[in-house]
Amino acid sequence: MDERERAEKIIALLEAEYPFDKGTVLHWRTPLELLVATILSAQTTDEQINKLTPALFKRYRTASDYANAEREELELYIRSSGFYHRKAELIQAACRQIVDEFGGEVPRTMNELLKLKGVARKTANIVLGNAYGVVEGIAVDTHVMRLSQRLRWSEETDRDKIERDLLALIQRDKWYEVNYLLIAHGRKICEAKKPECTNCIVNELCPSAFTFKHNKK
């Protein structure tokens, strides 16, 4: 079979294993909350972000609230996310842009979102797909990056280049869900250090299966 057929079979198996009924596990109610939560989720877990955002979202409700917040107070709310100095800086810079350039509303297009401080394609794809139902690409997080390389869907290490390879390989109507299928599989089976190849439903289609030292007898 060719690479597209192999990708289709893998996705079909993942769909059967992980019924897809929603998108991001980050908790949010508005596009702004989703944008802030996604920025905060860098280099930490979604679960950790979901613990801190209830208090954060109660204190700051609009882009103006974030833009005009006292930096030290904002940092206290997001401290447990890690790298909180930088994240507070990015959130406030993005929210100032939202206020000044977009009338206080989170942009609805990829090009406009990418103008915001701290927003790359991964974040933009998550916001567009979940908040607005707009699918322009595939969000490439650490799970998607790892599994794309192990499945030999991409040999790149740059996220944008990996996304480019995935877009060329995967049918457009699967772009939105494939991110979450790979995340689910990455968390449950195909972990970074100890992938459970024996229990993997796609091991017969995966070039990397059973190549890891811990899997060898």
Phi, psi of 77 (to 5 degrees): -70, -30
CA 102, CA 116: separation in Å to the nearest integer?
Answer: 10
- Buried b or exposed e, range 19-33, using 16+ CB within 10 angstroms: eeeebbebebeebbb
Joined tokens for residue 53: 């955002």
Joined tokens for residue 161: 């280049």
CA 64, CA 136: separation in Å to the nearest integer?
Answer: 28
122: annotated active-site residue:
yes
DSSP state of 60: -
Candidates 151, 148, 197, 181; CA nearest to 18 is: 181
Catalytic member of 22, 65, 115, 141: 141
Catalytic member of 122, 161, 165, 173: 122
141: annotated active-site residue:
yes
Query: Mind telling me the catalytic residues?
Result: 122, 141
